[in-house]
Structure 1
């Protein structure tokens, strides 16, 4: 075992090595110089963010005593993340997600407010131009999966209904793919609708199933190298907007899913776990839809929006 006792010339480092005081001074002078380079930033918030980034980034480099070879690998990794990112695939968001940075940003920006519905990660597969459906419409667009009736209300924290709230909904198909992951320009598993005069909404979708995040790129290789699974717990995405109320980005998750404790992007919150109740093929549907010999499911999600 190496001697870890300290003498007058060494101080403990957070990493595996003892760093001489003279070396510590060299490193700290550089941090001070870099911090000072942002001192004249005209945007106070930008200056604050950049100086905090420098402090934390240098602390990481010093804690692990990053080698030049490791630095090279990190640059290669980030370069590949950039190269694989395009208008259909956002590998940087995926990287942020699997490191928990996306979820922590959501936590910081969505402080608890009464009984407001909790937020969770946005994910990389939202698009702005999803088709509109009317109440009771079908978001599946031909995607494969078990039909699922979803209904609920949108209210504010005072309990008042929120009419005409815009509700964006999107999800993967039964095979675990979003429409953007196909190459035929299909639009499926996504739509938007508006709450009615009482704040109610209802639509047909698909019963969520587990699926892996895209893991054929650098983020997937990182997960494999570190012994982590790329699997996400079954979920259905929502984004809800209304005037004077905080935009809500969230999911609902399927109670009983074995991946609830190991969701690879850390997005599960207990309040968002819902019952997706299985229905036999001969059970009447809420709107009289004929499903033949297919089973279906139903779920309820009552949404509470916080003040803006």
Structure 2
């Protein structure tokens, strides 16, 4: 007997239209999506006007997207979806370094640099020594680990956002650990900055009484043969936005020490060890 559409039977009516040869995973995902989507609409009793507003919001979100800007990912980030997908895909045992979002400003193939050198090329900001070790869960030092690092500059912009104002590869570099498993480089103490808020996502945040700021952080991608890749940040703990990151990227274990240095070559020091798990 055909399953006709009705308010009560809406989920069954839509899901019954799937063909018999649909892949099991696609069937599982779409069945759940329809079930939750229809459940949401019934729960809030969505009006025609609200539905039209949502369609217009999604249309405007797509229209602002370009090769330089992905507003849909920004929407995913600000709704916590990106972090949830990342958390599910990167579950690790207690004590291992946790993942967080990659962010839109990573650039592949940053220059390989000698351990201990500075990655800052524009002369702005308070200098900071970043150092620590790369270890396995048993505390063994990992030789040959690569740390791909990058941050904003003192004005809160990444080099790719200001190609005419910042030197290429400013505040970026790759470092490889030796037998001691240690890394060491000089950057700047990062500063907080806003995500793009001149589009639909920014208007959504304003309507929800939310700010668009990310707390100050240094990006790391840590790779080593035989171990899971870690994509993460270390955060400045006294940043005013540390508990209200616009994209929900902060985890307690990723808040790093930033210590004032009174007699060193830098103004700050930030020690942090990375603990990897086997792939």
TM over 0.5: yes
Query: Distance between the aligned counterparts of 2:68 and 2:113, measured in 1?
Result: 23
Aligned match of 1:13: none
With a CA cutoff of 8 Å and minimum separation of 6, indicate the structure with the bigger relative contact order: 2
Query: Distance between the aligned counterparts of 2:98 and 2:226, measured in 1?
Result: 18
Which of 226, 232, 242 is the aligned partner of 2:214?
A: 232
Q: Aligned in 2, Cα 1:47/1:130: closer, same or farther, shift over 3 Å?
A: farther
Shift of 1:47: 2.1
How many residues align? The count is 273
Which of 268, 276, 279 is the aligned partner of 1:305?
A: 276
Q: 5+ unaligned residues in a row in structure 2: which ranges?
A: none
Q: Aligned in 2, Cα 1:33/1:253: closer, same or farther, shift over 3 Å?
A: same
Q: Aligned in 2, Cα 1:73/1:305: closer, same or farther, shift over 3 Å?
A: same
Measured against aligned partners, the alpha-carbon deviations of 1:87-106 in whole angstroms (never above 9, x if no partner) come to 32222221111101111112
Which of 158, 166, 173 is the aligned partner of 2:153?
A: 173
Aligned match of 2:136: 156
Say whether the 8 Å CA contact 1:126–1:170 is kept in structure 2: yes
Aligned match of 2:109: 129
Query: Distance between the aligned counterparts of 2:146 and 2:159, measured in 1?
Result: 21
* TM-score, normalization by structure 1: 0.82
Aligned match of 1:62: 42
Say whether the 8 Å CA contact 1:125–1:178 is kept in structure 2: yes
Aligned match of 1:17: none
Aligned match of 2:264: 284
Is residue 271 of structure 1 aligned with residue 248 of structure 2?
A: no
Aligned match of 2:238: 256
Say whether the 8 Å CA contact 1:232–1:265 is kept in structure 2: yes
Say whether the 8 Å CA contact 1:88–1:180 is kept in structure 2: no
Query: Distance between the aligned counterparts of 2:155 and 2:183, measured in 1?
Result: 27
Aligned match of 1:146: 126
Q: Aligned in 2, Cα 1:277/1:163: closer, same or farther, shift over 3 Å?
A: same
Q: What SS class does the counterpart of residue 117 from structure 2 fall into?
A: coil
Measured against aligned partners, the alpha-carbon deviations of 1:148-202 in whole angstroms (never above 9, x if no partner) come to 1101111111222222222111211111111222252843222222222222111
Shift of 1:300: 0.7
Is residue 93 of structure 1 aligned with residue 64 of structure 2?
A: no
Aligned match of 2:85: 105
Query: Distance between the aligned counterparts of 1:49 and 1:242, measured in 2?
Result: 34
Shift of 1:236: 0.9
* TM-score, normalization by structure 2: 0.90
Q: Aligned in 2, Cα 1:242/1:45: closer, same or farther, shift over 3 Å?
A: farther
CA RMSD of aligned residues (A): 2.0
Q: Aligned in 2, Cα 1:153/1:121: closer, same or farther, shift over 3 Å?
A: same
Q: What SS class does the counterpart of residue 152 from structure 1 fall into?
A: strand
Say whether the 8 Å CA contact 2:136–2:275 is kept in structure 1: yes
Alignment of 1:7-86 (within 5 A): 26-38=6-18, 40-86=20-66
Say whether the 8 Å CA contact 1:38–1:50 is kept in structure 2: no
Q: Aligned in 2, Cα 1:189/1:40: closer, same or farther, shift over 3 Å?
A: farther
Query: Distance between the aligned counterparts of 1:174 and 1:58, measured in 2?
Result: 47
Query: Distance between the aligned counterparts of 1:162 and 1:136, measured in 2?
Result: 18
